[in-house]
């Protein structure tokens, strides 16, 4: 049973200023209030529906004909939708203010009740996977409506070699609300409550505002922010080490019981992607470090007149860049016009996000850092969380998350079970939206310095998306492998972090004391182990797609929209075939990496 809960994704961008009126969520499309009778009604319905489902189908799945199985699947889908609506509402309220005890309690209480109610459904996937392969194939070929759902059950059956006894699976389901979920909440609440005393600032800052200072034009302010981050992370490093040790050990135990061959394997199964495809991506990116990140950062050091970059220079604006605050209305117009130029239909889908309270944009005390788009359920609509503070990168974050939202709206027609896209493909529309917005701005550049600033910003974003995320993936791989050998001290984890940072960023950098703790604030490691390679996957995929678009592939827009509408109903091979692309071809990844390299070539030619 899937319980939908948004995970905050850290894309820290921002600054302050007069940004105009920033939108806030209107969650009433889900429920009017946390004490609304509709919530009690739906929880009561869910309890009865789960019990009735188990009574009707447990022990009988192998005996159902196609018509009866279709009825069964649709009943299961209705349960998923109801549970998803409740948990989406509780989760979104919580992420608006993670330090509010009442919101945290409401979320935990909903999660506890839904976990309890859905325990009788654990039999469903286990029993389904015991259906004989011949009978399984015959079942799905007998009814076209049932056949639509086959991708869901093909992915379910990929877990067949790793499923445990019915009793153990029920136990793990019951424990889910006090295992990783509880450690996730501790991490979120700790991060939201941290305060950073930054030299030169009149009051303590939260994490989002402090990270934002790392993009400030004033180098002294950037350094002060970096040192404040290191100081606070260092003070809390034992807690963060405990969280990571516990989660990695819990994962190791479950992986061992499930006979998972590697710590990454469960993520690959969930993403419906072959391990060798991810390995090819990882290897291609690591091999490209010298011609991408190493080369670019040496170039940036020269632009900044420095022998060595410090960590607080990594995302610094260029010396020729004039600081500029971008108001919300301008950001909206920039992104919407880029979307509309590509496809008026996509712009029409995006418009309600701005007009109907589907975006929460402002930075507020206790609000989750970063940005995400949460699809909620297919009979509602997605919601976008931003921490918008007016930097050019914030505009790109808006374009990114709006792409997610458009994708989620288009995929909703597939229904609750088929709409959810594997993480590797979930970044497609978001990164494509960024590319559209970037190229719109680039086409409007009238001077070489404007073009240089835009190209450099895009290269940095792509390095952050590809190089940095693959370095994160390697860090996680090393951490989980080391944890299997025993408890890790904070110094152990710090050393793993620095090994991948040195390799990925290159010799242009000098690392300040304290930077070794910066692994501690990355939420992906806590919420979604090995999630991070999906960003690099998405960027490489989009670069290849965008090249096909620029080359004038016939009917590109309609093919692109069809790909988004497919949601999770097709494998990546099927989705990419209309574009003449194949992610299993090792040369595929070099196409995307070459696009980044060509941008660096152009920047070097401007020297």
Beta carbons of 536 and 237 less than 8 angstroms apart: no
Write down the pTM of the prediction.
Answer: 0.83
- The CA R_g of the chain, rounded to the nearest whole Å, is 24
Report CA-CA distances (Å) from 597 to 54, 431, 501: 56, 18, 20
| Calpha distance 552→522 (Å, rounded) | 39
- Summarize pLDDT for 155-209 with one digit per residue, the tens: 999 999 999 898 998 898 888 878 888 999 999 999 989 999 999 999 999 998 9
**Residue 269 in domain:** no
Q: What is the pLDDT of residue 584?
A: 82
Average pLDDT over residues 516-522: 97
* Range from 312-316, 420-424, 458-462, 497-501 carrying the lowest mean pLDDT: 420-424
**Residue 153 in domain:** yes
Whether the predicted pLDDT of 585 surpasses 90: no
* Burial (Cβ within 10 Å: 0-12, 13-18, ≥19) of residue 55: exposed
* Burial (Cβ within 10 Å: 0-12, 13-18, ≥19) of residue 594: middle
**Residue 132 in domain:** yes
**Residue 200 in domain:** no
**Residue 158 in domain:** yes
Whether the predicted pLDDT of 14 surpasses 50: no
**Residue 527 in domain:** no
Whether the predicted pLDDT of 605 surpasses 50: yes
Whether the predicted pLDDT of 374 surpasses 60: yes
Q: What is the DSSP string of 296-320?
A: HHHHHHHHTT-SSB-GGGTTPPPTT
Using a pLDDT cut of 90, give the percent of the chain over it. 82
Q: Name the residue range of residue 54's domain.
A: 27-181
Helices (H), 176-218: 180-193, 207-212
- Strands 383-385, 359-360: parallel, antiparallel or unpaired by DSSP? parallel
For residue 341, what are the contacts with CB-CB under 8 A and spacing of at least 6? Answer: 436, 440
- Summarize pLDDT for 18-70 with one digit per residue, the tens: 799 999 999 999 999 999 999 999 999 999 999 999 999 999 999 999 999 99
| Calpha distance 591→466 (Å, rounded) | 13
**Residue 77 in domain:** yes
pLDDT tier for residue 17 given thresholds of 50, 70 and 90: low
| Calpha distance 437→336 (Å, rounded) | 9
**Residue 93 in domain:** yes
The CATH number covering residue 113 comes to 1.20.140.70
Average pLDDT over residues 399-420: 96
Please tell me the total count of domains within the chain: 1
């Amino acid at each position: 049973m899937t319980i939908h809960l948004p995970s905050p994704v850290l894309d820290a961008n921002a600054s302050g200023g007069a940004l105009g009126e920033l939108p806030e969520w209107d969650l009433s499309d889900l429920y009017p209030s946390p004490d609304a009778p509709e919530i009690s009604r739906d929880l009561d319905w869910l309890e009865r529906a789960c019990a009735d489902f188990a009574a009707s189908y447990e022990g009988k799945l192998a005996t159902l004909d196609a018509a009866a199985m279709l009825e069964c699947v649709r009943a299961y889908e209705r349960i998923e939708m109801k549970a998803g609506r409740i948990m989406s509402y509780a989760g979104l309220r919580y992420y608006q203010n993670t330090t509010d005890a009442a919101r945290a309690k409401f979320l935990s209480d909903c999660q506890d009740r839904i976990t309890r109610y859905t325990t009788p459904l654990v039999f469903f996937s286990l029993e389904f996977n015991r259906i004989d392969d011949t009978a399984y194939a015959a079942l799905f070929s007998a009814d076209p409506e049932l056949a639509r759902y086959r991708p869901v059950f093909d992915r379910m059956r990929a877990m067949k070699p790793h499923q445990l006894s019915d009793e153990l699976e029920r136990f793990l389901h019951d424990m889910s609300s006090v295992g990783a979920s509880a450690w996730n909440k501790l991490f979120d609440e700790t991060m939201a409550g941290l305060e950073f005393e930054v030299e030169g600032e009149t009051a303590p800052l939260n994490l989002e505002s402090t990270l934002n200072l790392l993009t400030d034009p004033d180098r002294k302010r950037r350094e002060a922010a970096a040192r404040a981050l290191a100081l606070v992370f260092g003070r809390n490093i034992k807690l963060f080490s405990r969280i990571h040790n516990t989660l990695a050990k819990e994962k190791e135990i479950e992986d061992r019981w499930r006979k998972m061959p590697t710590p990454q394997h469960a993520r690959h199964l969930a993403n419906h992607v072959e391990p060798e495809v991810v390995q090819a991506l990882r290897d291609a990116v690591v091999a490209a470090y010298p011609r991408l990140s190493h080369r670019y950062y040496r170039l940036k050091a020269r632009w900044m007149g420095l022998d060595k970059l410090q960590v607080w220079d990594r995302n610094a604006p260029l010396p020729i860049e004039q600081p500029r605050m971008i108001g919300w209305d301008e950001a909206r117009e920039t992104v919407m016009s880029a979307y509309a130029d590509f496809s008026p239909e996509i712009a029409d889908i995006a418009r309600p996000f701005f007009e109907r309270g589907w975006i929460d944009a402002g930075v507020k005390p206790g609000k989750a850092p970063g940005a995400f788009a949460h699809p909620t359920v297919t009979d509602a609509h997605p919601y976008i969380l931003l921490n918008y503070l007016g930097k050019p990168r914030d505009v790109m974050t808006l374009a990114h998350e709006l792409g997610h939202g458009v994708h989620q709206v288009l995929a909703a027609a597939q229904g609750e079970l088929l709409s959810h896209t594997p993480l590797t493909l979930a970044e497609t529309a978001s990164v494509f939206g960024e590319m559209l917005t970037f190229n719109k701005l680039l086409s409007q550049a009238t001077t070489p310095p404007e073009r240089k600033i835009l190209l450099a910003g895009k290269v940095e974003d792509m390095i952050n998306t590809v190089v940095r995320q693959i370095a994160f993936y390697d860090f996680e791989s090393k951490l989980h492998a080391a944890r299997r050998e025993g408890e890790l001290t904070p110094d152990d984890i710090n050393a793993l972090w620095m090994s991948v940072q040195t390799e990925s960023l290159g010799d242009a950098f000098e690392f300040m004391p304290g930077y070794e703790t910066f692994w501690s604030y990355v939420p992906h490691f806590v919420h979604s182990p090995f999630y991070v390679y999906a960003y690099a996957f998405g960027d490489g995929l989009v670069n290849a797609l965008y090249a096909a678009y620029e080359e004038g592939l016939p009917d590109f827009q309609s093919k692109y929209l069809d790909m988004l509408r497919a949601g999770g109903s097709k494998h990546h091979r099927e989705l990419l075939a209309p574009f003449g692309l194949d992610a299993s071809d090792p040369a595929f990844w070099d196409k995307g990496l070459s696009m980044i390299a060509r941008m660096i070539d152009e920047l070097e030619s401007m020297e």
